[in-house]
Structure 1
């Protein structure tokens, strides 16, 4: 059994009873009117990553965006995106950040969660040589210089059948290689560079700022970013809440989305602000951020067409059995 499948089983088992309880509660209160704005939850615990991909939330907090919208937001470190789903269902978290594929897997299991806002966007169209929020690297003196060079090699990824795994397969196939012949190995994110240097894997997928600092130090070189071809602007990670929470707190959810989108508009392209908040809120050092790539954060709601691009790939590579209707995944915040 793969690490990913075991995680999926844990999510399903932990969430099944909670989902039932939620559905029963929803049935009992289905006739209730939506609470007035003053009665809606304003104090939110938000599961988020402590890495640069969680910078958008910290920008919104540090710039006072949530406060101006009457919200108090406390970030809670996600152990993993899979663990965040049961916490949402139990009420330990009101909102959680997760990669879009993990969210889609949760929905495919029948769990009552929806996207309320975009967090990170894919920053490139997967062009050769372009930096992004993560990438495939190999030793600096490796003969591998293009995506097709990964075929037949052992490549380290955070987990199998995730967005990173899927995107690597997509860009290798687009370059004319056969991604089914790559030997993918699950490796801890903190060891991605060490395992390449030791020869345990030929290539791996460090996130930022570990990738850029390791390249700058001459330890590794970039083979390709982990963006899917042609998918610039699609949501790589999203903020998710339960259907029950969304229904009972529509104003709160809309204000949360408006706040993170306002923060995205402030930080996108503003390297000085991104670096300042990454140091103060995420505790990175200036040295770690010298060469860092700061990803693009979503400044508007995801469209069904963008969701379709991800789900098409997820079905193609066997992550999802059936393509979901995009509109069913998106909360209506009008």
Structure 2
């Protein structure tokens, strides 16, 4: 069963990452509302084929963007590394990325600005869409047991390794002794089984995959050490905000309505997943969904920024007022 689930997820999400390398997928455009209708403003949004972005697909499907006068084209990319330059260059209008990539990008001078929330942690350490997984006989039972171990993450120097090391630090463990190993999401379970690493940091559907392969959870690095963590966001460029303030306001309203709709209709979230992924029904049924909040938790972003600086991901913190959504 586990191998079947893993194969299905690998085929669907080979390039899954909210922050790693990747390119825009040729032909992978979903003109969800068709050609721009008369009176509607066309926008293009770069997304990644993961459960976090289900609300925007639902929003288009339910007419929430059309209600705001927007005709949305959703363009699938294999990673945030392809979306960020597409947005800052004006090729796309909006994009999706995790918050650590936004913090790092802004600190390096990229003119990116968060405008709306994406997926958030459920806050439940026992039932979150992200989890550090290990094998039952690994000897890893608590957060501090990760000290001195090899931990697989999809991208080094980003949200997974920084939150894990912070959790170990806060628990009183030797966080500096952890060795992080970069492994693509679809390969995490196999590398864990092979003994390449002692634990892996997975997100759905790979939490479900790893569990089916016999792995057990240690803790959710999204549910702790940062309270009420906003994991990912939708963003645009400073120039786009300055030149198109009304369109940004419409996008934010539609996106928040989509997030609320998704949070209230988890069955519809699961139903929309096959429209932009190749996940099989048995995988979709078992997924733990993110929480779809309607606002970015500023305190959580600021805490992740502090952690990023402490871990050396950024030398100086970016101007958070310029990075975070404007009130």
Given the two structures, how large is their TM-score scaled by the length of structure 2? 0.83
Task: Confirm or deny: 8 A CA contact 1:122 1:231 kept in the other structure.
Answer: no
Q: Deviations over 1:232-254 (max 9, x none)?
A: 33321111111111111111111
Counterparts of residues 1-334 of structure 1 (less than 5 Å): 42-124=41-123, 127=125, 130-215=126-211, 217-227=212-222, 229=224, 231-268=226-263, 270-300=265-295, 302=296, 304-332=298-326
CA distance in 1, matches of 2:266, 2:291: 11
CA distance in 2, matches of 1:109, 1:218: 40
Task: Confirm or deny: 8 A CA contact 2:222 2:229 kept in the other structure.
Answer: no
CA distance in 2, matches of 1:108, 1:64: 36
| Shift in CA distance, 271/213, structure 1 to aligned 2, threshold 3 Å | farther
Q: Deviations over 1:135-191 (max 9, x none)?
A: 111123332111111111111101111011111011111222111101100001110
Q: Deviations over 1:286-329 (max 9, x none)?
A: 200222100012212x3543432221211222212222332121
Given the two structures, how large is their TM-score scaled by the length of structure 1? 0.81
The answer for unaligned runs of 5 or more in structure 2 is 1-19, 23-38
The answer for unaligned runs of 5 or more in structure 1 is 1-6, 11-39
Task: Confirm or deny: 8 A CA contact 2:54 2:262 kept in the other structure.
Answer: no
Task: Confirm or deny: 8 A CA contact 2:222 2:231 kept in the other structure.
Answer: no
Task: Confirm or deny: 8 A CA contact 2:166 2:225 kept in the other structure.
Answer: no
SS state at 1:282 partner = coil
CA distance in 2, matches of 1:214, 1:289: 14
Task: Confirm or deny: 8 A CA contact 1:170 1:228 kept in the other structure.
Answer: no
| Shift in CA distance, 41/66, structure 1 to aligned 2, threshold 3 Å | closer
CA distance in 2, matches of 1:123, 1:59: 20
| Shift in CA distance, 93/68, structure 1 to aligned 2, threshold 3 Å | same
SS state at 2:132 partner = strand
CA distance in 1, matches of 2:84, 2:40: 19
| Shift in CA distance, 231/98, structure 1 to aligned 2, threshold 3 Å | same
CA distance in 2, matches of 1:121, 1:41: 30
CA distance in 2, matches of 1:331, 1:141: 45
CA distance in 1, matches of 2:227, 2:100: 16
Task: Confirm or deny: 8 A CA contact 1:168 1:228 kept in the other structure.
Answer: no
